[in-house]
């Protein structure tokens, strides 16, 4: 009997401590795991900056017109408020070594402020043919979407086509 009592007393004390302090303290609270996701923005999701832009939308993306540079924008929405942008990947076609396609990830300041802050850019500089170009040079990486709007800004030229953009992010 004395042996059983010696086993039950420490076990009862440990159980009482666990109940009083809570399971997180006894078991050790674990930090939340970082989740990495991607979103794909098709070329057709981009809209022109004004009605004077020369472009066409086809099955494979947005193509630059013959009149020069076309400027398009696309807003970004995320399922969480605070995101860390890890990578920007551009899917494009460039038919000319001199007619490059450039894409910027911008952060718009709160309402009433008219400027945007570029966070990163990627382009098809000097390349010809189908392009998959990416960058991880993004600064600042973290954005609180409750305070800032994130958007993509692209400039396409004649003989270029924007197929889509993939944004890899974590939270």
pLDDT tens track for 85-106: 999 999 999 988 888 899 999 9
The pLDDT-based confidence of 109 (bands split at 50, 70, 90) is confident
Give the closest residue to 93 by CA, choosing from 53, 59, 144.
Answer: 59
Domain ranges of the chain: 1-30, 34-170
Residue 26, pLDDT score: 47
Alpha-carbon separation of residue 125 from 55, 96, 121 (angstroms): 20, 10, 12
Read off the pLDDT of residues 30-81 as tens digits, 9 standing for 90 and up.
Answer: 677 899 999 999 999 998 887 777 777 877 788 877 778 889 999 999 999 9
Residue 54, pLDDT score: 76
The architecture of the domain spanning 34-170 is Sandwich (2.60)
3-state SS class at 95? coil
Residue 139, pLDDT score: 95
Q: How far apart are CA 40 and CA 62, in angstroms?
A: 15
The pLDDT-based confidence of 125 (bands split at 50, 70, 90) is confident
The total of other beta-carbon atoms located within 10 Å of residue 144's CB is 10
Q: Which residue has the higher pLDDT, 106 or 114?
A: 106
- Cβ proximity of 78 and 60 under 8 Å: no
- Cβ proximity of 72 and 47 under 8 Å: yes
108-112, 124-128, 164-168: which range is least confident on average? Answer: 108-112
Tokens of 158: 């004649």
12-26, 49-63, 152-166: which range is least confident on average? Answer: 12-26
Q: How far apart are CA 146 and CA 80, in angstroms?
A: 10
């Amino acid at each position: 009997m004395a042996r059983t009592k010696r086993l039950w007393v420490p076990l009862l004390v440990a159980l009482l401590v666990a109940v009083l302090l809570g399971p997180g303290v006894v078991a050790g609270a674990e930090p939340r795991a970082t989740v990495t996701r991607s979103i794909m923005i098709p070329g057709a999701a981009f809209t022109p900056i004004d009605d004077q832009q020369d472009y066409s939308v086809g099955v494979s993306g947005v193509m630059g017109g013959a009149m020069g540079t076309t400027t398009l924008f696309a807003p970004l929405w995320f399922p969480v408020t605070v995101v860390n942008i890890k990578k920007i990947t551009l899917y494009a076609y460039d038919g000319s070594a001199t007619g490059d396609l450039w894409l910027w990830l911008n952060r718009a300041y709160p309402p009433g402020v008219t400027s945007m802050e570029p966070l990163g850019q990627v382009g098809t500089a000097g390349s010809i043919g189908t392009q998959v170009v990416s960058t991880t040079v993004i600064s600042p990486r973290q954005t609180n979407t409750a305070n800032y709007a994130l958007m993509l800004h692209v400039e396409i030229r004649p003989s270029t086509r924007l197929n889509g953009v993939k944004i890899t992010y974590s939270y």
